[in-house]
Amino acid sequence: MVEALLANAAILLGLAMILWAVAVQIDDVSFVDAYWGGGMAVMAAVSWLRLFDPGPLASLLMAMTVIWGMRLCIHLLIRWRREGEDKRYARILRKDREKGRFASAALTKIFLSQSVLLFLVSSPAQYGILEASSLTPISGLALYGLGLWAIGIVFEWLGDWQLARFKANPANRGKVMDRGLWRYTRHPNYFGDACVWWGIWIAAASAGWWVAAVTVIGPLFLTLTLTKWSGAPLLERGMKASRPGYDEYKARTSAFFPLPPRKRSSRSREGV
C-alpha cells in the first residue's frame, strides 16, 4: 500500500511539473482547475491498474472517480479556453508578476499546493481501490455511496450546464443566475462535488473500516474548502462586486444545501 501510494504521488508530481512548465510558457495558470478533476481521475486509474485482478468494488470506485474527474476536467478546460485567465489566479499572482517571480510563485502557490490537496481529497478512491481484493463485492453500503455520488453528478453537471446557457445569452450580462438549480442553492456545482466525494468515501468504506477512518479527511477537507475557504467565500466576494442584485439573491437563496427560496418579510419589503 505504502509503495503504491508513493508511486502515485511521484506520478502526480511529474504531471504537476509538466503542467507548471506549460503555465510558465503561456503566462497563465488558470487551467489548473482542470488538473484538479483530471488529476484525481489519474490517481484512481493508476491505482486500479496496479491490481493484478481488480474486483467489483475496485472497478466501481475507479469508474466513479474517473467519470466525475474527466467530466469536470473537460468542462473546465472548455471554460478556460472560452473565458481566458481566471481573475482569482490573476489576483493571487499579481504581486509576484510585478516582482518577476511568476514562475516560482506559480509552482509553489498553485501547482504544488494543488497537488498536495488533490492527493489528500482523492485518498478514499486510492485507498479503497488498493485495499479491495478481487473478491470484495459491491455491498449495500457501496450502493448507498453510489446513489449519493449519482445525486452529486446530476447537481454538478446540471448546474454547470444551466450556468453556461445563462452566460451564453448576452441579455444576461451583469445579471445574477437565479434559475433552475441555482434557485435553490447558490452553489449547486459545489454541493454536487461534496456529494460525489462523500459517496466515494462511503463506497470505499466497503473495503474496510480502517479505509473509512484514514480517508475521511478527504471529503471533510473538500467540504470545508468549498463552504468556508477558497470555494464559495472567494467566489461570492467577486460576485458581490460585479453583480448589483447579488445581495438580494444571497438573502433568499441557501448557501449550500438545496432549499426552497426564503420569502422576504413585509418588514424587508417596506425597508424597515
Give the pLDDT of the chain (272 residues) as one tens digit per residue: 788 999 999 999 999 999 999 999 999 999 999 999 999 999 999 999 999 888 899 999 999 999 999 999 999 999 999 888 888 888 888 898 888 899 999 999 999 999 999 999 999 999 999 998 777 889 999 999 999 999 999 999 999 999 989 988 888 887 888 889 999 998 899 999 999 999 999 999 999 889 999 999 999 999 998 888 766 666 666 666 666 777 788 888 888 899 999 876 433 333 32
Distances (CA, A) of 101 to 20, 95, 128, 268: 14, 8, 40, 49
Q: What was the pLDDT predicted at 266?
A: 38
DSSP 263: P
* Lookup: cell for 21: 512548465
**Amino acid letter for position 177:** M
What is the pTM for the complete model shown? 0.89
Angle in degrees, CA 17, 219, 72, rounded to 5: 55
Quote the pLDDT of residue 240.
60
Give the burial class of 221: count Cβ atoms within 10 A of its Cβ; 0-12 exposed, 13-18 middle, 19 or more buried.
middle
pLDDT value of residue 247: 79
Parse the chain into domains and list their residue ranges. 2-262
Contact 128, 63 (CB under 8 A): no
| CA 225 – CA 242 distance, rounded (Å) | 23
The per-residue b/e assignment along 77-86, b for 16 or more CB within 10 angstroms, e otherwise, is bebbeeeeeb
Residue 18: the pLDDT is 96
pLDDT (0 to 100) of residue 232: 64
What pLDDT shows up at residue 238? 61
Q: Are 34 and 77 in contact (CB under 8 A)?
A: yes
